[in-house]
Structure 1
Amino acid sequence: MQGAAGPSVDGAARQVRQPSNAKGWRSAKRSFRRHWQLYLLIIPPLAYFIIFKYIPMTNAVIAFKDYNVVDGVWGSPWAGFEQFARFFDNPIFWTLLRNTFILSTYVVLVSFPIPIILALALNEVRSRFFQRTVQMVTYAPYFISTVVVVSMTILFLSPKLGLAGDVTSFFGMHAIDFLGDPDFFRHIYVATDVWQTTGYSAVIYLAALSAIDVSLYEAAKVDGASRFQRIMNVDLPGIMPTAMTILILSVGNVMAIGFEKAFLFQNSLNLSQSEIIPTYTYKVGLLNADFSQAAAIGLFNGVINLVLLLGVNAVSKRVTGTGLW
C-alpha cells in the first residue's frame, strides 16, 4: 500500500512545486485571447503617457547640468546641484515659496468644503427642476476658458469701467483698484476659482450621495432623526471616502497651483503677492532662456508635492482608514 501511494504523493508534491508564474502566464494568455479587443483599446492611452509623460521625464537631467542648445541635453556639461543652490540663494526664494504655499493652501481650504455644502443642499431639494437649474448654473462656469474668466473679472473690477467701481461710487466711496492692491490678489484668485470649479466638484459628491444605501435613510427616519441629523450621520459618512480622496489629491498638488490665472492677474503693482513659483519658472525658463534653472525649480516643486502627497495619504489612512493606496 505504501509503494502504491508513494508515486501519487510525489506527483502531488511536484505539482505543488510548479512555479506559480507559469500558471499566471497561461492565465494571462487566455485572458488576452478572450478580451483582445479591450487590450487593444488601452494601447493609445498607454502610448500617450509613455511618449508624452514618461519619456520627457528623462530630460529632467538638465536640472543637474549647465544646459546649452548646441551640446543638447546629454552633451551639456554636468553641474551637479549648482542650479538648485542658485535658486536657494536667490533673495526671492522665500518670497516665492511663501506666496505659492499661502495661495495654494487658501484655495484648498476654501474650495474643498463649498462643493460638499452645495451637494448636500442640492441632495435635500425636492424640486427636480430647481435642483437641475442650480446644478446647471453652477456647473456651466467650469467650461469657460481661464482667459475669459480673467478678462471678465478685470472688467468687473475696473475702477472706472467696472460694476465694482459703480457700486463704490454709489455709496460715496473712492474707486478701489482691486487688482492694483496686493492685498486683494489672493481673495480675487480664490473667489474666481471657487466660482469656476464648485459646480463641477459638486457633481462628484452628488454621485457619491446617490450611491448611499436608501435603507440607512429609512432607519434614520424610524429613529426620529431630523433632516440635519440625517445629513450629519448618513450623508457625510457616506461621502467621506470620496471627500478624503479629493482632499489628498488637492494637498498633493498644493505647490502645483495653476500658472495661467496667476500670470494673467499679475501686474507690477501686485507682484509682491502674485509672483509664485510657476510664474517665476516661466520667466526664468522661457523669457530668460535659462532652461537648467527652470528645470531645477520645477523639479524642486515636484519633490515638495510628492512629499506632501505621501504625508497626507499616510495621515489619512491612519486617521480615517482611507487613502490612495
Structure 2
Amino acid sequence: MIDSNPVIRAQAPTRLFSRKLLKVRENIGLYVLVLPALIYVLVFEYVPLYGILIAFENFKPVKGIWGSEWVGLYHFERLFKLDMFWTLIKNTLSLSLYSLLAGFPIPIVLALALNSANSKRLKSIVQTVTYAPHFISTVVLVGMLNVFLAPRLGIVSQFLNFLGLTHGPLMILSDPEFFGHLYVWSGVWQGMGWGSIIYLAALSGVDTSLHEASIVDGANKFQRAFYIDLPSIMPTIVTLLILNCGGMLGVGFEKAFLMQNALNLGASEVISTYVYKVGLLQSQYSFSAAVGLFNSVVNLLLLLTVNKLAKKLGQSGIF
C-alpha cells in the first residue's frame, strides 16, 4: 500500500531514479556496446527528420529550410487533386498486394521443404541455387529481363515462335498487362531463397522430441511440417508479415523505374517513381516531400493496424 505521507510520495521519484541509475552502472558495459548504434540512429535517422518541414513550405534552396515561405497543407491538397493520384495509389497497392500474396508464402514453403529434406547434398545444392539470385543487382536483373524478353531476338520470343505459339515480335515488356507479373515474379525468383534463411533459423529451434513422438505415431513428413514446424515458426511469420504490411506503399523505386517505358506507364507509374520525376527532375522539392510524407504516414498506419489485429488474433506483435 502506498504511503499517504506527502514527503514520502515526493521522495519516491528520487528513489526510482536512483534504482535505475544503479542498474545503468551495473550494466555500463552493455550500454557502451550499444552506444555506437544509438549514435548512428540518432545522426542518420532522427536528426534529418527536421527536413520534413519542407513539405509544408514553398522550399527554395537559396533561402534554406528556415527561410522558405510557409504554405501549410497546400502541397497535400495539390496531391489529392491530381488527376493521376488514384492511378498512383492503385498501381502501388496492386503491386504491393501482388508481391505480398505471391512472395510471402514461397520462402516459408521453401524453408519447410528444405528442413524436411533427408539428403544434405540436395539441400545444399537447392540452397545455393535459390540464394544466388539475391546477389544479382536490380540493374542486372532488369537487363536480363530485357535480353530474355526482347521483342525479336529474345530467347522467350524465339522459343515461342519456334513452337508456333506466337508469330512475330513478342511485346511483353511494353504491355501494361504483363508489367505486374514480370515485376512480382522476378522479385520472387530473386528473393525466395534469401527470405527462407530466417525461417530455417527459426526451424532449427524446434524441439526434436516432437518430431520423434510424431514419427512413433505414424505421422509423415507433410503432417510433421504442417502440425509441428509451421506452428513453431508462426511468431516469426507474423512478425515478418506485419513488417511487410508496414511497407505496403513502399514499392521499390529502382526496379519499377528501370522496367518503366512509355507504353507501360499506365501500370508502372508508382509513388516512388513519381516522387523522383517531380522532386528531382522538375525540382519541386516541397511537393515531392509531401508525397513522400503521405506515403510514410499511410505505411505507419498500416503497420499499427496489422500489429493490433495480430494481437487481437492471439499472436505476438512487434511491439
Of 113, 133, 144, 2:136 maps to 144
Of 27, 48, 56, 2:48 maps to 56
Q: Which one is further off, 83-92 or 222-231?
A: 222-231
Of 75, 78, 91, 2:70 maps to 78
Distance of 1:53 and 1:121 partners within structure 2: 39
Could you tell me the percent identity over the aligned residues? 49
Amino acid of the structure 1 residue aligned with 2:178: F
Report how far residue 46 of structure 1 moved: 2.1
Of 174, 183, 186, 1:180 maps to 174
Q: Secondary structure at the match of 1:42?
A: helix
Q: Match of 1:45?
A: 37
Of 153, 159, 162, 2:154 maps to 162
Moved over 6 A (4+): none
Distance of 1:201 and 1:283 partners within structure 2: 31
Q: Which one is further off, 293-302 or 314-323?
A: 314-323
Report how far residue 59 of structure 1 moved: 0.8
Amino acid of the structure 2 residue aligned with 1:117: V
Distance of 1:228 and 1:142 partners within structure 2: 28
Distance of 1:294 and 1:94 partners within structure 2: 16
Q: Match of 1:247?
A: 241
Distance of 2:44 and 2:179 partners within structure 1: 34
Distance of 1:104 and 1:224 partners within structure 2: 41
Q: Match of 1:65?
A: 57
Q: Match of 2:27?
A: 31
Q: Secondary structure at the match of 2:123?
A: helix
Q: Match of 1:106?
A: 98
Q: Match of 1:205?
A: 199
Q: Secondary structure at the match of 2:110?
A: helix
Q: Match of 1:315?
A: 309
RMSD (CA atoms): 1.6
TM-score, reference length from structure 2: 0.93
Counterparts of 1:285-304 in structure 2, within 5 Å, are 285-304=279-298
Q: Which one is further off, 39-48 or 80-89?
A: 39-48
Report how far residue 27 of structure 1 moved: 2.3
Q: Match of 2:255?
A: 261
Report how far residue 53 of structure 1 moved: 1.3
Residues 106 and 192, structure 2, Cα contact 8 Å, conserved in 1:
yes
Residues 152 and 170, structure 2, Cα contact 8 Å, conserved in 1:
no
Q: Secondary structure at the match of 2:173?
A: helix
Amino acid of the structure 2 residue aligned with 1:25: L
Q: Do residues 118 (structure 1) and 110 (structure 2) align? A: yes
Q: For residues 142-171 of structure 1, what are the alpha-carbon distances to aligned partners after superposition, in whole Å with 9 as ceiling and x for unaligned?
A: 111110111011111112221111112112
Report how far residue 25 of structure 1 moved: 0.7
Q: Match of 1:19?
A: 15
Report how far residue 31 of structure 1 moved: 2.0
Amino acid of the structure 2 residue aligned with 1:119: A
Report how far residue 42 of structure 1 moved: 2.8
Distance of 1:182 and 1:31 partners within structure 2: 58
Q: For residues 79-135 of structure 1, what are the alpha-carbon distances to aligned partners after superposition, in whole Å with 9 as ceiling and x for unaligned?
A: 010000111101010000000000011001100010111111111111101101100
Structure 1: state its 5+ residue gaps. Answer: 1-12
Q: For residues 22-67 of structure 1, what are the alpha-carbon distances to aligned partners after superposition, in whole Å with 9 as ceiling and x for unaligned?
A: 12212212321xx2xx434433322222122111111101101111
Distance of 1:122 and 1:260 partners within structure 2: 31
Q: Secondary structure at the match of 1:19?
A: helix
Of 271, 278, 290, 1:277 maps to 271
Of 209, 220, 239, 1:226 maps to 220
Report how far residue 184 of structure 1 moved: 0.2
Q: Match of 2:5?
A: none
How many pairs align?
Answer: 309
Q: Secondary structure at the match of 2:288?
A: helix
Distance of 1:109 and 1:118 partners within structure 2: 15
